[in-house]
Amino acid sequence: MGRRTELEVVTEDAPACVHHWVLGDPSEGAIPARCKRCGGERVFAARVEGVDRSEDDRDLVAPSGAESSPNNADLS
């Protein structure tokens, strides 16, 4: 009879990739991304939930009739 050889199957858990996301162009509220290392794909939200950017913008707009520079305040 022939010789029998037993094979032992060894599985190693591959370490998880520490992703390096390369972001694509935002479209319709989503930003596609691909990992530079493993090729994995993901979609990021283009807006942070719970944050309204319009509130930030109102600080950037001077009220009508206001001086254009805060250094030009009336000191009289």
Q: What is the pLDDT of residues 14-48, one digit of tens each?
A: 678 999 999 999 998 899 999 999 999 999 998 87
Within a domain: 5: no
Q: Is residue 24 one of the residues assigned to a domain?
A: yes
Residue 64 has pLDDT above 60, yes or no: yes
What is the domain extent for residue 38? 17-48
> For residues 26 and 46, is the Cβ–Cβ distance under 8 A?
yes
Residue 43 lies in a domain: yes
Does residue 9 belong to any structural domain of this protein?
Answer: no
Domain membership of residue 56 (yes or no) is no
- Looking at the structure of the chain, the number of domains it has is 1
Q: Look up residue 73 and give its two tokens.
A: 């305040």
Q: How far apart are CA 35 and CA 27, in angstroms?
A: 19
CA angle 12, 17, 20 (to 5 degrees): 165
Predicted TM-score (pTM) of the model is 0.46
